[in-house]
Chains A and B, each alone.
Chain A
Amino acid sequence: LAKTTQPISMDSYEGQEVNITCSHNNIATNDYITWYQQFPSQGPRFIIQGYKTKVTNEVASLFIPADRKSSTLSLPRVSLSDTAVYYCLVGDISLGGGATNKLIFGTGTLLAVQP
Chain B
Amino acid sequence: EAQVTQNPRYLITVTGKKLTVTCSQNMNHEYMSWYRQDPGLGLRQIYYSMNVEVTDKGDVPEGYKVSRKEKRNFPLILESPSPNQTSLYFCASSSNLDRAAFRDYGYTFGSGTRLTVV
User: Chain A residues in contact with chain B, CB under 8 A?
Assistant: 32, 34, 36, 41-46, 49, 87, 93-99, 101-108
Contacts and interface: CB of A to CB of B under 8 A. Distances in A.
B41 interface: yes
Contacts of A107: 40-42
A97 B45 contact: no
A97 B111 contact: no
Contact of A41 (B31, B88, B108): B88
Interface stretch (B13-21, B67-75, B76-84, B97-105): B97-105
A43 B4 CA distance: 10
Nearest to A97: B31
**Contact size range, B:** 35 or more
Contact of A42 (B29, B42, B59, B111): B111
Nearest to B51: A98
A43 B111 contact: yes
Contacts of B107: 36, 44, 46, 97, 103
B61 interface: no
Contact of B103 (A36, A41, A93): A93
27 contacts: A34-B106, A36-B106, A43-B4, A43-B90, A43-B92, A43-B110, A44-B107, A45-B109, A46-B106, A46-B108, A96-B31, A96-B96, A96-B97, A97-B29, A97-B33, A97-B94, A98-B30, A98-B48, A98-B96, A101-B31, A102-B58, A104-B45, A104-B59, A105-B35, A105-B42, A107-B42, A108-B42
A96 B107 CA distance: 10
Nearest to A57: B104
